[in-house]
């Protein structure tokens, strides 16, 4: 059985983190874990047409987002960054509305939250992040872009071109690859040449690092360093966070067709990032067991609140199908809207 674990794995440590940061990371991770379970249940009940689980990747997402400054940085997510959105302060009922298909890209304000719309194009956020980062530098700002993508997306041409462009122009970008072992049903060894995504950084003339993606403190440290480097004008960084997708790729996926579930069970049991951080938090004296239990209870309550909010959110008026297609409407769009209005009129 291949467990895809980084070397030297065991208990993690948070001794070098401020206690309030440790508690904040744990709070976000615990809330994301509970909200993820609620979202899967909503899909099973028919409220969400589909959903992609983040279970097992909470440390990679929460800790990386927490290392940014929401007042000046910008996040470019894929379709699996619910935990990152939560940690970054995005309004979660509005964010989760995308999974209910109420509005493409969610109902939250992308510019105000500085967290991009959910992007289902494989590798799609990466060139967007580079474009924003180059523009940020041209206007004299000190913001940094963080692009999320997976190991499968690392094989896309758009990702290569974006990284090469960023390397040439020294763009302030953190390329954050969540290597969860599976590009849907394809394992690393069949689609990542050389066995490492981070090793490619050298070819793009940028810094590269591999980190245990289930160690929140290690992820936070790596991203903090990369962000500081970008702010100093020292160019982009490629971080490969080694983790594991313990759940199916999406709620329509059948993992039994392509992987040994004993491997996933190993990661659930021995490398659960939420359990690892809780143990480290208690061991470092950053919280008592009673305080951790209180965080757990508050996280469950918040997840339920978000669940109820997104379930009760009103559907948008059908006319909004035509509202934001073009800045100025076209004759064809006007014709389509007229036909639609004739069909829906009682």
Query: Rounded distance, CA 136 to CA 142, Å?
Result: 7
Best CA proximity match to 219, nearest among 181, 183, 176, 182: 176
Q: Are 155 and 191 in contact (CB under 8 A)?
A: yes
Query: Rounded distance, CA 23 to CA 40, Å?
Result: 26
pLDDT digits (tens, 9 = 90+) for 104-141: 777 899 999 999 999 999 999 999 999 999 999 999 99
Which pLDDT band, with edges at 50, 70 and 90, does 300 fall under?
very high
Q: In the chain, what percentage of residues exceed pLDDT 90?
A: 88
Which pLDDT band, with edges at 50, 70 and 90, does 9 fall under?
low
Structure tokens at 275: 């359990």
Which pLDDT band, with edges at 50, 70 and 90, does 103 fall under?
confident
Residue 4 is predicted with a pLDDT of: 56
Query: Rounded distance, CA 89 to CA 67, Å?
Result: 13
pLDDT digits (tens, 9 = 90+) for 323-339: 888 989 999 999 999 99
Task: Please give the average per-residue pLDDT across 275-280, as a whole number.
Answer: 97
Residue 1 is predicted with a pLDDT of: 38
What 3-state DSSP class applies to 76? strand
Task: Please give the average per-residue pLDDT across 167-178, as a whole number.
Answer: 98
DSSP letters for 18-63: -HHHHHHHHHHHHHHHHHHHHHHHHHHTTSSS-----TT-HHHHHH
DSSP state of 169: H
Q: Are 148 and 78 in contact (CB under 8 A)?
A: yes
CA angle 164, 73, 68 (to 5 degrees): 100
Alpha helix (H) ranges present in the chain?
19-44, 58-66, 82-88, 92-96, 110-113, 125-138, 157-169, 216-231, 261-270, 273-283, 289-312, 331-344
Lowest mean pLDDT among 4-8, 74-78, 218-222, 262-266: 4-8
CB burial string 56-65: b at 16+ within 10 A, e below: bbbbbbbbbb
Task: Please give the average per-residue pLDDT across 241-268, as a whole number.
Answer: 94
Best CA proximity match to 213, nearest among 38, 80, 19: 80
Contacts of 202-205 with C-beta under 8 Å, sequence gap 24+, read 204/163, 204/164, 204/166, 204/167, 204/236, 204/238, 205/167, 205/168, 205/235
Beta bridge partners of 179: 242
Residue 2 is predicted with a pLDDT of: 43
Q: Are 231 and 237 in contact (CB under 8 A)?
A: no
Residue 6 is predicted with a pLDDT of: 55
Task: Please give the average per-residue pLDDT across 297-319, as a whole number.
Answer: 94
Query: Rounded distance, CA 244 to CA 214, Å?
Result: 8
DSSP state of 257: G
Query: Rounded distance, CA 185 to CA 307, Å?
Result: 29
DSSP state of 170: T
Residues ≥6 apart with Cβ < 8 Å to 142: 72, 136, 172, 231
Residue 267 is predicted with a pLDDT of: 94
pTM for the full model? Answer: 0.93
Average pLDDT, the chain: 94
Task: Please give the average per-residue pLDDT across 19-37, as a whole number.
Answer: 98
Q: Are 215 and 14 in contact (CB under 8 A)?
A: no
Task: Please give the average per-residue pLDDT across 266-283, as a whole number.
Answer: 96
Check whether 291 has a pLDDT greater than 90. yes
* H or E, element range at 75: strand 74-76
Domains of the chain: 19-315 (3.40.50.970), 316-346 (no CATH)
Residue 101 is predicted with a pLDDT of: 87
Residue 5 is predicted with a pLDDT of: 56
Structure tokens at 292: 């951790």
What 3-state DSSP class applies to 213? coil
Best CA proximity match to 274, nearest among 216, 222, 218: 216
């Amino acid at each position: 059985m291949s467990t895809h674990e980084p070397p030297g794995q065991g208990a993690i440590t948070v001794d070098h983190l401020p206690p309030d940061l440790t508690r904040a990371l744990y709070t976000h991770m615990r809330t994301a874990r509970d909200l993820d379970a609620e979202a899967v249940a909503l899909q099973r009940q028919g409220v969400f047409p589909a959903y992609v689980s983040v279970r097992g990747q909470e440390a990679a997402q929460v800790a990386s987002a927490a290392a940014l400054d929401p007042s000046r940085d910008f996040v470019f997510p894929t379709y699996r960054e619910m935990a990152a959105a939560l940690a970054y302060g995005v309004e979660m009922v509005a964010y989760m509305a995308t999974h209910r298909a109420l509005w493409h890209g969610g109902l939250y304000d992308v510019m105000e939250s500085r967290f991009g719309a959910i992007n289902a194009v494989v590798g799609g956020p990466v060139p967007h992040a580079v474009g924003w980062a180059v523009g940020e530098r041209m206007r004299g700002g000190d913001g940094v872009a963080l692009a999320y993508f997976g190991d499968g997306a690392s094989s896309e041409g758009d990702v290569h071109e974006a990284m090469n462009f960023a390397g040439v122009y020294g763009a302030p970008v953190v390329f954050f690859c969540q290597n969860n072992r599976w590009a849907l049903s394809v394992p690393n060894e069949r689609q990542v040449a050389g066995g490492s995504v981070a090793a490619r950084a050298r070819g793009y003339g940028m810094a590269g690092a591999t980190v245990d993606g289930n160690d929140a403190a290690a992820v936070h440290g790596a991203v903090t360093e990369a962000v500081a480097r970008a702010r100093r004008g020292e160019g982009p960084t490629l971080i490969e966070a080694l983790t594991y997708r313990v759940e199916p790729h999406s709620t329509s996926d059948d993992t039994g067709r392509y992987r040994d579930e004993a491997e996933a069970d190993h990661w659930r049991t021995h490398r659960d990032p939420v359990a690892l951080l809780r143990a480290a938090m208690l061991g470092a004296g950053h919280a008592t067991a009673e305080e951790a239990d209180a965080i757990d209870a508050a996280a469950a309550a918040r997840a339920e609140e978000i669940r109820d909010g997104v379930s009760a959110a009103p559907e948008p008026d059908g006319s909004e199908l035509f509202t934001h297609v073009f800045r100025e409407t076209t004759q064809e769009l006007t014709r389509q809207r007229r036909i639609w209005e004739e069909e829906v009129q009682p």
